Structure 1
C-alpha cells in the first residue's frame, strides 16, 4: 500500500484511498500527494477540497485513480 502511494507521489498521479478517521468513519478519498514520510502523507484531498494530512496507519487501502467516464449509448 505505501509503495503504491510512493509511486503516485513520484509520478504526481492522484491516488484513491480508503481512510478510517479518528472517529471510526470510513471514507473514500481522491488525493494528489505532496509529501510522505514513514508515518503520514500530505496532499490535496479532492473530497474536502483542501490540503490534508493522512496518518498512514489509518489508510486501509490505496489504489491508482481510474478516471471514470459514462459510456455513451449509441442510438440506431
Structure 2
C-alpha cells in the first residue's frame, strides 16, 4: 500500500481509495495524495472537495 501512495504522490494523479472510517463504515473515494509520512497521508477528497487526513495502519487479518 505504501508504494501505491508514494507513486500517487509523485505522479500527482488521483487514485481510488477504500478506507475504514472511525465508526467502522467503509468508504470509497477518489483522492489525490498531497503529503504522507509513515503514520498518515493528507489527501484531497474529490467527492467532499476538501482535504482529509487518513491514518495509515497495517492490519493482519487472521
Q: What is the TM-score normalised by the length of structure 1?
A: 0.71
Q: Distance in 1 between matches of 2:26 and 2:47?
A: 13
Q: Displacement of 1:57 after TM fit? A: 1.6
Q: Displacement of 1:7 after TM fit? A: 0.3
Question: What is the alpha-carbon root mean square deviation over aligned residues?
Answer: 1.3
Q: Which has the higher contact order (CA 8 A, sep 6+)?
A: 1
Q: Distance in 2 between matches of 1:36 and 1:18?
A: 17
In the alignment of these two chains, the number of paired residues is 58
If you compute each CA radius of gyration, which structure gives the higher value, 1 or 2? 1
